[in-house]
Amino acid sequence: MSQRTLVLLKPDAVRRGLIGEIVGRIERKAGWRISAMELRTLDRETLEQHYAEHVGRPFYEPLLEFMTSGPAVVMVVEGERVIEGVRALAGPTDPIAAPPGSIRGDFGTIVRENLIHASDSEESAEREVKIFFPSHG
């Protein structure tokens, strides 16, 4: 079943020159395609919508600070089981727990700056795509 998901390459991935490596891994997956992609510095208002469920948690403010610290790549990826697939490709948030071959396992350094975000469900994907690409209906 074809799906679409929001993927963010966070400021640490951009700063470290990993855009090509990560996008290449996504593009090489048979049946997946990037239908929207943009390099942009994310504003606080957009991120407050995106991370609304984390308001009040101790990591919320540092997360917003990190996510506004430099440009990020925002993209919509479409394809078979892409939501589950991109999350598997990303690996667990903790880079030490992430297996080799995953993005975080190969390139991650610390939990908070974890290179990539991918929607965790069809509902999240739909909500997140609308936040970052309002016209990508």
Residues assigned a catalytic role: 117
95, 105 contact by CB (below 8 A): yes
Q: What's the DSSP call for residue 43?
A: P
Q: Which residue in 116, 108, 88, 92 sits closest to 9, CA to CA?
A: 116
73, 38 contact by CB (below 8 A): yes
115, 18 contact by CB (below 8 A): yes
